[in-house]
A and B are shown apart, each in its own frame.
Chain A
Amino acid sequence: MSLLQAVLLTVVVLVLGWAEMWFAFPMICSPLVLGPVVGLILGDPVTGVLCGAACQIFFLASVGLGGTTPPDGNTGTVLGTAFAIVMGQGPEVAVVIGTLASYIGQFFFYLSTQLKSGDNRKIERYIREGNDKALIRLHWRSALLPMLPGAAANFILFYFGTMFIGGWGAYIPDWVITGIHVAIGIVGALSIAQFLRMIWSKELAVYFFLGFLLSAFLHIAPIGVLALGLVLVYFLYQREQRDKAQAALEPSSAAGEEDLFND
C-alpha cells in the first residue's frame, strides 16, 4: 500500500466514523459500507464489496454481549478488508484479520470514552459562567479529538502492517481458506439468531417462516418480500381499524343477542 493510499484510507475512515456519531448513526460506518470504501481506495471495489458483506455477517454474530462494549466490527472490517486486498486474498482472510483487529478497535473505543470523562468538570464551569459558546466548542471537540489515537493506530497498521505481512498471502494453504469459507456460511445462522433474539415474539413467529418460504420456494427477491410485507401490514392496519369500529358498536348488539336467547 502506498503512503498516499494509507493516508487517504486513514482520513476517510476517520471522517466516516466521526460522521456516524455526529449524524445519529446513519449506517455509513457499517461493514457493508466500509468494505466497498476500502476497496475503492485500494483499487479493487468488487473484493471490497464481498469482504464487507462477509464481515457484516460475521460481526452481526458477535455483537450484543450484555453490558460490555462489543468488539469493534467496523475497525475490524476496515483493517480486514485492507489486508485481504493487499495480500491478494478475499473475504475469508478479511474475516479472520478483521476479528483480531476488532479487539484493537474495542480498546480504542474504550479509550475514547475514557478521554471524554474529564469533560464534566469543564462543562460545570462553563455552565456556571453561562458560557454557551464554550459548551458548543466542547461538544464539537469531544466528538472528534478522542478518535485521533485510534486513527493513528489505523495508519500505522495500514502502512507498516501491510508492508510487513503483505506477501504472506501466498503461504496460506487452500484448506484454511475453504474452512473459513464454510465457517462464514455457518456463522450466518448465528447472526440471524442474534437478531431474532431482539425481535422474536411467539405471536408473530409465523412471519419468520413466511419470509423463509417466500424466499426459498418462490424465490422472491428481498425487496419484493419487503414490498409484500408493507402491503400485509397495511391490510392488518385496516382490519384493526374495522375491529375497533365494531367494538365501539358491540354493547348494543350484545344486548340484542341476549334478548334473542331469553325468548
Chain B
Amino acid sequence: MIKSNLNKEEKKLVRQSSRRTLSMSASFNFEKMQALGFLYAILPYINHYHKSKEKRIEAYRREWTLFNTTPTCGPYITGTAGSLEKRAAEDPDFDPSVIETTKASLMGPMASFGDHLFWGTLRLVSLTVGIILALQGSILGALMHILIFNIPATLVRYYGGIVGFSEGTAFMGRAAESGVIDFVKKAATILALLMAGVLASRIVRLEVPYSFSFFGETTTLQGLLNQIFPGLLPLLMVLGAFALVKKGVQTHWVLLAILAVSLVGAYFGFLA
C-alpha cells in the first residue's frame, strides 16, 4: 500500500516536518485556528525549496490560511503541500494557488476521518482497557491507555508524511478506490463497539438492596436479576441513556438528576 521512493534528503525533510505537526494545535486561536501551527510545520519545506527571500515570503503568506484538522493526520497534508511547494519552486508554469485549494480540500475529510478514528474509536478502546485496570487500583491503567492510543497514532503520523510527500492526493484516490478507507473506518467502529459493550458490563452499577422471600428463600431483587441475566440492568441503563442522548437532552441536567436521585436514595437507604 505504501510506496516510497524518497531520497535521503527528502526523507529527512519529511521527518522534520512530520515531527513539527505534533504541535499543530498548540498555538490554536479562534480566528485562524491551526494556521500558525501549519506554517510552523511546513517551514522546513519552504526554506529548503525556495531560495530567494521574496519567494519564501510568498510561500509563508499562502501557507498561513485558516486551517483545522486532526493533528495526527497533519503529516499527510503537510507532506502533500510540501511536495507542491517543491513543484512551485522547480516549475515556473505551476500555479501556486493549487496549494491553497489542495490544503482546503484535504483538511475537512482528514478531520472527519481522524476525529472518528482517534477521538471516537481509538480513545474509547484505550480508555476501556485503562479504566477497568484503574478501577482495581492499578497504575497499569494509565500506561495501557497511553500505549494503546499512541502506537497506532505514531504509525499514522510517520507513514502519513511519507505518503503525502511521495504521492500527494493520488493516495487518497487510490485508497478510496480500493475501499481501504471505508474498511479502516468499519474495523475501528467494530472494535470500539465491542469495547463499549465491555465497558457497559463493567462500570455501570446500580444496586437495589431490596430483599423479599422467594419460594421460601430470602433473596434480593439484585440477586434474582443476576441469576437470570447478569448485567441486564446496566445494559438497559446504557441503552436508556443512549436514547436520551440521541434525543439531544442536555447531559448536565441528566447528571444533576442522577446525583439528586442517588443522594435521596442513599439517605433513605433504598440505594447502596
Contact = CB atoms under 8 A, between A and B. Distances in A.
Given A187-B255, A190-B254, A25 B197 contact: no
Contacts of A181: 266
B201 A33 contact: no
Given A230-B191, A240-B183, A211 B27 contact: no
B123 interface: yes
Given A49-B137, A212-B198, A230-B191, A143 B255 contact: no
A181 B258 CA distance: 11
Interface in B155-187: 157, 179, 183, 186-187
A116 B116 CA distance: 28
B108 interface: no
A58 to B, nearest CB: 8
Nearest to B231: A216
Contacts of A142: 26-27, 29, 36
Interface residues of A, number: 94
> Which 9 pairs from chain A and chain B are nearest by CB?
A211-B197, A179-B266, A143-B26, A212-B197, A211-B194, A179-B263, A193-B241, A53-B134, A183-B262
A172 to B, nearest CB: 12
Interface of A: 18, 21-28, 30, 32-33, 35-36, 45-46, 49-50, 52-53, 56-57, 60-62, 65, 113, 116-117, 119-120, 123, 127-128, 130, 132, 135-136, 138-139, 142-143, 175-176, 178-183, 185-201, 204-205, 207-217, 221-223, 225-226, 228-230, 232-233, 236-237, 240, 244
Given A36-B142, A132-B60, A204-B186, A24 B23 contact: yes
A182 B23 contact: no
A30 B124 CA distance: 12
Contacts of B263: 175-176, 179-180, 183
A132 B238 contact: no
Main secondary structure of the interface of B (DSSP, over half): helix
Main secondary structure of the interface of A (DSSP, over half): helix
Interface stretch (B5-13, B37-45, B84-92, B97-105): B37-45
B21, B53, B197, B258, most chain A CB atoms within 10 A: B197
B25 to A, nearest CB: 6
A211 B31 contact: no
A130 B126 contact: no
Contact of B157 (A24, A28, A113): A24
B258 A190 contact: yes
Interface residues of B, number: 107
Interface string B246-265: 10001110110011011111
A209 B236 CA distance: 12
Interface in B14-49: 21-32, 35-37, 39-40, 43, 47
A247 to B, nearest CB: 11
Contacts of A199: 116, 120-121, 124, 189, 192-193, 196
Given A208-B196, A233-B187, 19 more contacts: A22-B22, A26-B149, A32-B127, A32-B131, A45-B139, A49-B138, A56-B127, A61-B251, A65-B251, A130-B53, A138-B36, A176-B266, A182-B206, A186-B237, A194-B251, A201-B189, A212-B201, A229-B195, A230-B191
11 contacts: A27-B146, A53-B134, A57-B203, A61-B251, A139-B37, A142-B26, A185-B205, A190-B244, A208-B194, A222-B198, A225-B194
A33 B123 CA distance: 14
Contact of A139 (B26, B56, B179): B26
B20 to A, nearest CB: 9
Nearest to A95: B259
B242 A113 contact: no
Contacts of A23: 22-23
A125 to B, nearest CB: 12
B82 interface: no
Given A24-B23, A192-B196, A212 B251 contact: no
B71 A24 contact: yes
Contacts of B30: 113, 117
